[in-house]
Structure 1
Amino acid sequence: MLYVILVAAIIIFWLVAVDRPILLVQFKSGQITKHKGHFPATFRHNILDISKRTPFDGEVKVYQQRNGTKIMFSKTIPKPTQQRIKNVFPHQSFSSNGRKRAR
């Protein structure tokens, strides 16, 4: 019985504590150093254009939520640059897996 509780605790810890973004992009001096996940071509083009104009270091993460996507930035990315990236973010390319609820 104890092993069942231990396995359940490990599974709950993994679901809560492990960071699982659907897109992770890391920048160094305005260049993409690493990306993981689905990276739409238009978003990649726009984000490279923004990073060439105003070089920055940091990372951008995109998370899938029930009602859509959430984009998160590291603290090293300036606020005006964050807003420019949010403006070109393609929400339709990251559609949710579940059905939309009728109201």
Structure 2
Amino acid sequence: MWYLVIVGLVVVIWLVADRPVLKMTFKNGHIKTEKGHCPPSFQRELKHIAEHDHLNGSLKVYQLRTGMKLVFSKNIPKNVQQHIRNVFPHQGFKSKGKKRA
């Protein structure tokens, strides 16, 4: 009986835990996969940065109550992470649901 409860709990945590708004993976300086909505201007800047720095890794964007959170893989250097944060359009992403005043 307890194993059913534990399996159910693991499935619920797995479904809720990792839900990025945008996920992109880079390989050899090109965007390999893209899931979610990416504004065209940000995508253009990412292509330029990826080609210039020959990126390998991934980028995830999460929607938080305080704003957007960018999570990079360990393969992306700190200076390139900062460059991507500088060109990230915080107003280009629409939040899901209604905001109340």
**TM-score range normalised by the length of the shorter chain:** 0.7 to 0.9
CA shift, 1:94, in A, is 1.4
Distance, in Å, in 1 between the alignment partners of 2:39 and 2:89 is: 8
Distance, in Å, in 1 between the alignment partners of 2:35 and 2:100 is: 27
Q: Is structure 2 residue 30 aligned with structure 1 residue 31?
A: yes
For structure 2, the residue ranges without an aligned partner over 5 or more in a row are none
Distance, in Å, in 1 between the alignment partners of 2:89 and 2:76 is: 19
Q: Normalising by the residue count of structure 2, what TM-score does the alignment of the two structures yield?
A: 0.82
CA deviation string 1:61-93 (max 9, x = no partner): 000111211111000001110000000000001
CA deviation string 1:22-69 (max 9, x = no partner): 100000011011000001100000011111111110000000111211
Distance, in Å, in 2 between the alignment partners of 1:29 and 1:100 is: 43
Q: CA RMSD, aligned part only?
A: 2.3
Q: Is structure 2 residue 5 aligned with structure 1 residue 13?
A: no
For structure 1, the residue ranges without an aligned partner over 5 or more in a row are none
Count of residues in Structure 1 that have an aligned counterpart in Structure 2: 98
Q: Is structure 2 residue 74 aligned with structure 1 residue 79?
A: no
Q: How does 1:1-103 map to 2 (within 5 A)?
A: 6=5, 9=9, 12-14=12-14, 16=16, 18-97=17-96, 98-99=98-99
CA deviation string 1:1-28 (max 9, x = no partner): x7xx939735652455x31101000000
Q: Judging changes above 3 Å, is the alpha-carbon distance between structure 1 residues 100 and 46 closer, same or farther for their aligned structure 2 residues?
A: farther
Q: Normalising by the residue count of structure 1, what TM-score does the alignment of the two structures yield?
A: 0.80
SS at match of 1:24: strand
